[in-house]
Amino acid sequence: MIDHPEIRDVIRRALEEDIGSGDVTTAACVPAGQMASGRFLARSRQVIAGLELLPFIYAERGTLDELLPLKTSGQFVEPGETLALVRGHARTLLECERVALNFLQRLSGIATLARQFADRVAGTGCRVLDTRKTTPGLRRLEKMAAAAGGITNHRMGLFDAALIKNNHIAAAGGVRQAIERVRASGLEIEVEVRTRAELEEALAAGATHILLDNLTPAEAAAEVRWIAGRAKVELSGGIDLDNVRAYAETGADFVSSGAITHSAQATDISFRLELESA
């Protein structure tokens, strides 16, 4: 998955965006043949993600003499730990520095937040899902980071699973009609319901996966008890680190939170360059 064309393309575009017609500062300050080594350092406690991108980033600008990852995605790291070592032309290392750090910091931030969510629900039997609330163009990478943090990826897009929501129900003319029309796709179907009547209609129509949105934990627990295992249940809406445990303890099979990808704070990672003697 890491060598997916979408990922290679976003790396290429990120480098083009940053370097443009050339790194004028590096070209002026660093001789063309100067060799150097560098290390990526964690400056905060975090779950690392994105190190797999480094070979592809540097490959866009030339070759390296050495690239040695010392950690893997999903690992906790402490401040001061070295994440990866690189060696090559100093100009290449400097040209790629910011793009590499941007990817590592963003993806590690998602992995770190995902791990916090996963830890909060430990022992409940409930799994945390991510959502499609991702940075445009970065969904594949951000979902990889979320998985590295220990949560479960939901659908990648509108094409690989069916989720019938309130607007679909309105357009189809009802819950049953929507389910019957989507069933022909052959995909897994999840139905969002807003009322007990819609829930009853969904179950009667054979729904096997129900989404309950914007309920309190007490309200959600009552609905889960009423469903009594007749369908898998996902809870969403306003779920954060402070309340995710309460929602997980309702007996639901899944809880989902868009915050994992849309509100993760980038972690602190730095790059240290050392020039080599001629």
Q: Where are the alpha helices (DSSP H) in 60-191?
A: 90-120, 139-148, 166-172, 175-183
98 is catalytic: yes
Give yes or no for a contact between 256 and 114, defined as CB atoms under 8 angstroms apart: no
Say how many C-beta atoms besides its own lie within 10 A of residue 86's C-beta. Answer: 26
165 is catalytic: yes
Give yes or no for a contact between 94 and 35, defined as CB atoms under 8 angstroms apart: no
18 is catalytic: no
Annotated catalytic residue, options 87, 140, 165, 194: 165
Annotated catalytic residue, options 60, 81, 119, 213: 213
CA–CA separation, 40 and 68 (whole Å): 11
Annotated catalytic residue, options 95, 192, 198, 223: 192
Say how many C-beta atoms besides its own lie within 10 A of residue 109's C-beta. Answer: 25
Annotated catalytic residue, options 43, 71, 98, 194: 98
Structure tokens that stand for 200 in this block: 């009853």
Structure tokens that stand for 147 in this block: 């998985």
194 is catalytic: no
232 is catalytic: no
Q: 């905060």: which residue's tokens?
A: 44
Catalytic (active-site) positions: 98, 133, 165, 192, 213
